[in-house]
Chains A and B, each alone.
Chain A
Amino acid sequence: MALPAEMTQPKIMKPTRDVGIVGYGAYVPRYRLPAAEVARVWKEGTGGTPIKEKAVPGKDEDTATMAVEAARNAVKRSKISASELRAVWVGSESHPYAVKPTSTIVAEAIGAVPSTMGADWQFACKAGTEAFQASMGFVGSGMADYAMAIGMDTAQGKPGDALEYTAGAGGAAFLVGPAENSLAVIEGSYSFVTDTPDFWRRANKPYPEHGQRFTGEPAYFRHVMGATESLMEALGTQPSDYAHVVFHQPNAKFPMRVGKMLGFAPTQIETGLLVPTIGNTYAGAALIGLSAILDVAKPGDLILMTSFGSGAGSDSFQFRVTDNIETRQKLAPTTQQYIKRRTEIDYSTYTRLRGKLVMK
């Protein structure tokens, strides 16, 4: 596919000071709602299902508590003290408060307060990777030595809507710091953004709306391809250079299709493709795919990640894994460890856990 006209001369985002991922951590709640349960209730069991099952948060979980656990895992792997963080940034579509930061709850719980920035990010499903890019700039400029970027969601799906099959829960935290202390060096990033209303949630509304098929070609595929192709062109890479690649994964088909369009083989995508077993974790989706890849990555591996956020835009990143990876992988639970911790629930339990019952 040819580059869009406006992107013929991509300029890579890379700070003057080399930066990398110093620590990372995932979190997935324990409950799983099989897609077949949604089909049973709303389609009499007929029709296909876009995934096998999705992760559902417990009654006492929200984006803040899930971000705390992922952040603690990232700090463990980094081997630094949380008090060295100068930013704790949380990207999500499901912040517990409309007004009051999630990030201060997380920063307080992990011991990063008070000498730190705290901010909540919002850009649909790419809020977490935006925070990641900001962390690169923050550390790369020398304003900070360490910054934390988290993408985490307890996604909302309207009962009976197509998104109810996939709207999952989970995400990952990344601690960005100097390249010399990193487990993966960030070799560059690229953002591709336009005003494309493919999916939105208006203020004070509990569930999002979406543009049906409009979410495909003009939204997901245009932006994911635009960002990924621009990044690869600027860095002079080709698909075969990468050991692993992860794309935003609203369902299982989109990332596999865009991977094929870009020239990647299914084997390069499989490790980071978690949507079939945990659903679409929105702001956490690309990032938790990256954490699953880092769990098994080897020194020297080249990794590509491209997120997608409705509204719409994509952030693309290239990472090169360092020798530090092998000792740090084992310092916190792996992504698959959380996925394996699985308790299946039925639709009625799901409605209780997600607060869908009118109590008064």
Chain B
Amino acid sequence: MQVSRHWRLQQQRYALVGQVCADCEEKIFPPRGVCPNCAKETSTAFEFSGRGKVYSFSTVYTAPAGFEGSAPYTIGLVQLEEGPLVTAQLTDIDNDHVEIGLDVEMVTRKLLQDGDRGVLVYGYKFRPVVPVWETELEDELYALA
């Protein structure tokens, strides 16, 4: 495994850092040299909110090398609320519970490891949204305290 290759991608993988086009304000992920909307050069970093919806998905039973330990797992196309479509593993959900339109949020998880001696590679996955404050439960707890 090339350590440097993964290290270069850390920012986009850990925190979903892409770009915003200074010219047309298109939000871009993954980062690239030229805006796919207006073809101008891009360089301004932009951290995405991590919120989105499942656009499509497929469950992987025969996993590629390095991911065998995770199978079966579901890969989703996630439409970020800022626009871009991102391909990522879905996590914290049973494979038969995934559906198109599901609200998801980005989490940083272990993607793979280089055997039992190499580096651990971390990056974004998406999971069903954990509500911030569910009125019924938290209000009840708050009242009891």
Task: State the A residues within 8 Å of B (CB).
Answer: 30, 58-62, 64-65, 68-69, 96-97, 105, 108-111, 243-244, 271, 295-298, 329-334, 336-338, 340-341, 343
Counting CB contacts under 8 A, is B145 at the interface? yes
Question: Does A65 contact B145, Cβ atoms closer than 8 Å?
Answer: no
Question: Does B92 contact A333, Cβ atoms closer than 8 Å?
Answer: no
Nearest-neighbor residue (CB-CB) of A343 within chain B: B94
Q: Which of A60, A61, A337 contacts B130 (CB 8 A)?
A: A337
Question: Does B109 contact A65, Cβ atoms closer than 8 Å?
Answer: yes
Q: Which of B90-145 contact A (CB under 8 A)?
A: 91-92, 94, 107-111, 120, 122, 125, 130-134, 137-138, 141-142, 144-145
How far apart are the CA atoms of A336 and B14 in the complex, in Å?
26
Question: Does B141 contact A336, Cβ atoms closer than 8 Å?
Answer: yes
Count A-B contacts at CB 8 Å. Answer: 87
Place the interface of chain B in its size category. Answer: 20 to 34
Given contacts A111-B47, A296-B145, contact A96 B120 (CB under 8 A): yes
Given contacts A333-B130, A337-B138, contact A61 B14 (CB under 8 A): no
Question: Does A65 contact B138, Cβ atoms closer than 8 Å?
Answer: no
Question: Does A65 contact B137, Cβ atoms closer than 8 Å?
Answer: no
How far apart are the CA atoms of A219 and B126 in the complex, in Å?
42
Counting CB contacts under 8 A, is B70 at the interface? yes
Question: Does A108 contact B10, Cβ atoms closer than 8 Å?
Answer: yes
How far apart are the CA atoms of A337 and B141 in the complex, in Å?
11
Nearest-neighbor residue (CB-CB) of A244 within chain B: B145
Task: State the B residues within 8 Å of A (CB).
Answer: 10-11, 14-15, 47, 69-70, 89, 91-92, 94, 107-111, 120, 122, 125, 130-134, 137-138, 141-142, 144-145
Question: Does B145 contact A297, Cβ atoms closer than 8 Å?
Answer: yes
Nearest-neighbor residue (CB-CB) of B128 within chain A: A341
How far apart are the CA atoms of A336 and B94 in the complex, in Å?
21
Given contacts A59-B69, A64-B122, A271-B145, contact A337 B107 (CB under 8 A): no
How far apart are the CA atoms of A47 and B141 in the complex, in Å?
33
Given contacts A65-B122, A109-B15, A109-B108, contact A338 B130 (CB under 8 A): yes
Interface of B (DSSP majority class): mixed
Q: Which of A105, A295, A337 contacts B131 (CB 8 A)?
A: A337
Residues of A within 8 A of B133 (CB): 329-330, 333-334, 337
Question: Does A58 contact B91, Cβ atoms closer than 8 Å?
Answer: yes
Question: Does B137 contact A336, Cβ atoms closer than 8 Å?
Answer: yes
Most buried by B among A244, A329, A338: A329
Q: Which of A296, A341, A343 contacts B142 (CB 8 A)?
A: A296
30 A/B residue pairs, CB under 8 Å, sorted by A:
A58-B92, A58-B109, A59-B69, A59-B70, A60-B70, A60-B91, A60-B110, A64-B120, A65-B107, A65-B108, A65-B109, A65-B122, A108-B10, A108-B11, A109-B15, A109-B108, A110-B15, A111-B47, A243-B145, A244-B145, A271-B145, A296-B141, A297-B145, A329-B142, A333-B133, A336-B138, A337-B132, A337-B138, A340-B137, A341-B92
Q: Whole-angstrom distance from the CB of B45 to the nearest CB of chain A?
A: 11
How far apart are the CA atoms of A30 and B145 in the complex, in Å?
25
Nearest-neighbor residue (CB-CB) of B129 within chain A: A333
Q: Whole-angstrom distance from the CB of B112 to the nearest CB of chain A?
A: 9
Nearest-neighbor residue (CB-CB) of A301 within chain B: B145
Q: Which of A68, A109, A329, A337 contacts B137 (CB 8 A)?
A: A337
Given contacts A295-B141, A333-B130, contact A69 B108 (CB under 8 A): yes
